[in-house]
Amino acid sequence: MEIYHSKYISSHTKLSQCPKADRPEYAFIGRSNVGKSSLINMICNNKTLAKISSQPGKTQTINYYDVDDIWYLVDLPGYGYARIAKRTRLHWREMINDYMCNRPNLQCAFLLIDSCVPPQDKDIEFANWMGQNRVPFVLVFTKNDKKKSHNNKSFLKNFKEKFLEYWQDMPPYFITSSKLNTGRDQIRNYIGGINEQYFDYQDIISED
């Protein structure tokens, strides 16, 4: 799937404020400083789409991006950043939970995992929460070009071992590098495949 244009639409703190649920959308989430903005910009081939910051916890709202007037890419706040006030973290959690459990056109959540660090409990916990709440998700291992990632060559094996303590099987996953564009086409094609099914189903409904 090719992407021709993408643009920022709006930011929201409540599900009720989000754009009309009239097209498929895909949410991106992960621990703070996991490389989410860089990944979003790589997927959309737009270096200025999502603002990249060296300060963790910068994303604080549900951010909407329009892609080719066909689907929405949604940037969610990161989790696991201890320097954010407890009250703010609680608000983010409630906002994310409400969005993921009640947004009818959410097709898939992309859970970003930092390949430079050992398996983190918070990542597994969030994956388990999505499973318990029947939120469809895939894994995206980021920063594969980093030296730390190369020194941690067993990161995928270690993560699988940890993940499979709770799950029977691994969900689909992608290995990515925003610097080298690794994984870009695979993620685009995955979204494109879901979009085709979504619109085919909408055509069937409209015919009925």
What CATH number corresponds to the domain at position 81? Answer: 3.40.50.300
**How high is the pLDDT of residue 2?**
95
**How high is the pLDDT of residue 51?**
81
List the structure tokens of 67.
């892609």
Q: Pairing state of beta strands 137-142 and 173-175?
A: parallel
Chain center to CA of 27: 5
Highest mean pLDDT: which range of 44-58, 137-151, 161-175, 190-204: 161-175
pLDDT band at residue 92, thresholds of 50, 70 and 90?
A: confident
List the structure tokens of 13.
């703190």
Q: Virtual CA dihedral for 58, 61, 62, 66, nearest 10 degrees? A: -70
1: in domain = no
Mean pLDDT for 46-59 is: 72
149: in domain = yes
Q: Pairing state of beta strands 25-30 and 62-67?
A: unpaired
- Phi and psi at 96, nearest 5°, equal -65, -45
Instruction: Please tell me the least confidently modeled range out of 51-55, 127-131, 144-148.
Output: 51-55
CA gap 94, 158 in Å, rounded? 30
Secondary element (H or E) of residue 88: helix 86-102
pLDDT band at residue 85, thresholds of 50, 70 and 90?
A: low
195: in domain = yes
66: in domain = yes
Position 52 pLDDT exceeds 80:
no
Position 90 pLDDT exceeds 90:
no
Question: Which residues form the domain of 85?
Answer: 6-207
Of 206, 149, 193, the C-alpha closest to 24 is: 193
Q: Number of structural domains, the chain?
A: 1
Predicted TM-score (pTM) of this structure: 0.92
Instruction: Please tell me the least confidently modeled range out of 19-23, 89-93, 128-132, 144-148.
Output: 89-93
Position 57 pLDDT exceeds 80:
no
67: in domain = yes
Q: Pairing state of beta strands 6-12 and 62-67?
A: antiparallel
Query: 140-181: per-residue pLDDT in tens?
Result: 999 998 866 666 678 999 999 999 999 999 999 999 999 999
Averaged pLDDT of the chain = 89
pLDDT band at residue 187, thresholds of 50, 70 and 90?
A: very high
